[in-house]
Amino acid sequence: MAENEQAKAQTASPSAEESIFTKIINGQIPCKKVYEDDQAFAFHDINATAPVHFLVVPKKPITQLSAVDPSDEQLLGHLMLVASKCAKQEGLDEGYRVVVNDGKHGCQSVYHLHLHVIGGKQLGWPPTGN
């Protein structure tokens, strides 16, 4: 699966079209929702890499972390708080990992900023470079 994600990341790029995450937020594509408020949306990843794997996305369509604006500071903090709240809600009491992929080399395959929250098992360190 990692190779597939790497291949997707090599061909993905920011687009003028709505991202798949915007379509999920708008209810055009179904998902298993974890959380929603006026700024953020969280849902389970359909390509889970662990027993618990969900995404936290801003409703504002920011393409990637390297494209944030200083005015996004509060929103970025809010996303982290939502990740923490949802991790508790999902029973990740023993810990979890938060990952943000940025750009091709960061293996970003959807250009809508998102936090992966991964847990439910013992994760290794360091994360693999593949």
**CATH number of the domain that 68 lies in?**
3.30.428.10
5-10: list long-range contacts, CB under 8 Å, 24+ apart.
Answer: 5/47, 5/107, 5/109, 6/107, 6/130, 8/109, 9/101, 9/104, 9/106, 9/107, 9/108, 9/109, 10/104
Q: Is residue 17 part of a domain?
A: yes
130: in domain: no
Q: Please indicate, yes or no, if residue 128 is contained in any of the structural domains.
A: no
What is the pLDDT, as a whole number, of residue 2?
A: 56
Give tens-digit pLDDT for 26-57. 999 999 999 999 999 999 999 999 999 999 99
Local structure of 83: helix, strand or coil: helix
How far is 99 from 18, CA to CA, in rounded Å? 23
Total domain count for the chain? 1
Pair 125, 86: CB distance under 8 Å: no
**Residue numbers annotated as active site:** 114
- Whether 124 is in a domain gets the answer no
Q: Tell me whether residue 32 is in a domain.
A: yes
* Cα–Cα distance for residue pair 82/107, rounded to 1 Å: 23
pLDDT of residue 21: 95
Q: What is the pLDDT of residue 3?
A: 60
Domain with 61, as residue range(s), is: 2-119
Rounded mean pLDDT of 87-102? 97
Q: In this predicted structure, what is the pLDDT of residue 57?
A: 98
